[in-house]
Amino acid sequence: MDTYDVVIIGGGPAGLAAGIYASRAALKTLLLEKGMPGGLAASTEIIENYPGFAEGIGGPELMMQMEAQARRFGLEVKSANAESIKPVEKIFAIQTDDGEIKTKTVIIATGAQPQKLKVEGEEEFHGRGVSYCATCDGAFFKDKIVAVVGGGDSAIEEALYLTKFASQVHVIHRRGELRATKILQQRAMNNEKIIFHWHSVVEKIAGQSTVQEVTLKDVRTGETDKLNVNGVFIYVGTRPVSELVGNLVQLNERNYIITDENMHTSRPGIFAAGDVRQKTLRQVVTAVADGAIAAVSAEKYIEENLKP
Ligand code: NAP
């Protein structure tokens, strides 16, 4: 079995950009992705702030182009789940659900997953009105009433998207002020279909075969109120997918991987890129930058430490 120069785990923007740079540098590179390449960016209807596309570009299209570009330079893509990484002498053995892979370096680009709200009814109605992806499920709510929970970029962007289908979109936010960028805030405030519920949290999601209502609590007064809705879209942030390397590299208190500016983790030979990393701006544009840097750092590492 050949040893790879670089194995990238995760096929979102960070992983694919690392794939483009590593393959183009003629490193023997494999990208492992347990689902479809594209990451969370592929479930965004339109990406407006990725430079180079004056009118914006669809998330799925941008990600398909990145994958095609990486494959053009010779990136191998394997559909498999990485289960463990073990340092073996100077290299690494990655155990997957489809056999073992040996590599000189690893780039962790596993991204982040939507955070759960952890309220009654959330699990029970997941897929029956509760969703974490408006792009995937929005069309099921034509002329229906939906709630969006959260006040960040994702919540407001997806609330706006849902107004294309739903007759009314209730945005439920725990504070009196949104976290989302101003341009999104303004669009949402000017949209007649969006109704804001400030200082409110969801206490319970209820229904019969599908969602029928949410119970809201005003965090200032403790008063509760019921809202009839057919769907609940939850956007209360993300959590890093860092379990795979939790015992190998240093994580911060919220489990994000700590790297230096060259994407080195605390363990030589393992690099991290994109949303899984401790950083202040989680965007496609910063993920691809991380990926490029990680690939170049991996190349340098091999050059300096593993050349025969
Ligand atoms: P986020 O920025 O962390 O926002 C999470 C929102 O959920 C916040 O408004 C937070 O309230 C609220 N929240 C958190 N826990 C909650 C709970 N238990 N109950 C009720 N509300 C809760 O997450 P995000 O919107 O998913 O964005 C993640 C990252 O991706 C951000 O860096 C964002 O800028 C980026 N992003 C960018 C774009 C874009 O540029 N177009 C689009 C999507 C995402 P508080 O405000 O009170 O903390």
CATH number of 3-113+238-305, picked from 3.50.50.60, 3.40.50.2300, 1.10.3720.10, 3.40.50.12280: 3.50.50.60
> Angle, to 10 degrees, between the axis of helix 153-162 and the axis of helix 182-189?
30
**147 CB neighbour count, 10 Å cutoff:** 30
**Residue 168 has what pLDDT?**
98
**Residue 298 has what pLDDT?**
98
d(CA 57, CA 293): 24
* Catalytic-labelled residue, pool 97, 98, 136, 225: 136
What digits encode the pLDDT tens for the residues 221-242? 999 999 999 999 999 999 999 9
d(CA 276, CA 267): 16
**Residue 143 has what pLDDT?**
98
Catalytic residue at 137?
A: yes
* Catalytic-labelled residue, pool 5, 137, 275, 290: 137
Q: What are the residue ranges in the chain where pLDDT is below 50?
A: none
**Residue 51 has what pLDDT?**
97
176 lines ligand 1 (CB under 6 A): no
- Side-chain-side CA neighbours of residue 136 (13 Å): 11
**296 CB neighbour count, 10 Å cutoff:** 17
| CATH T-level assignment (fold) for domain 116-234 | FAD/NAD(P)-binding domain (3.50.50)
From 45, 119, 154, the mutation candidate for ligand 1 (largest count of ligand atoms within 8 A of CB) is 154
b/e per residue 7-38 (b: at least 16 CB within 10 A): bbbbbbbbbbbbbbbbbbbebbbbbbbeeebb
Location of each CATH 3.50.50.60 domain in the chain: 3-113+238-305, 116-234
Catalytic residue at 97?
A: no
Helix (H, G, I), strand (E, B) or coil at 49: coil
What digits encode the pLDDT tens for the residues 54-77? 999 999 999 999 999 999 999 999
**Residue 296 has what pLDDT?**
98
193 lines ligand 1 (CB under 6 A): no
Catalytic residue at 133?
A: yes
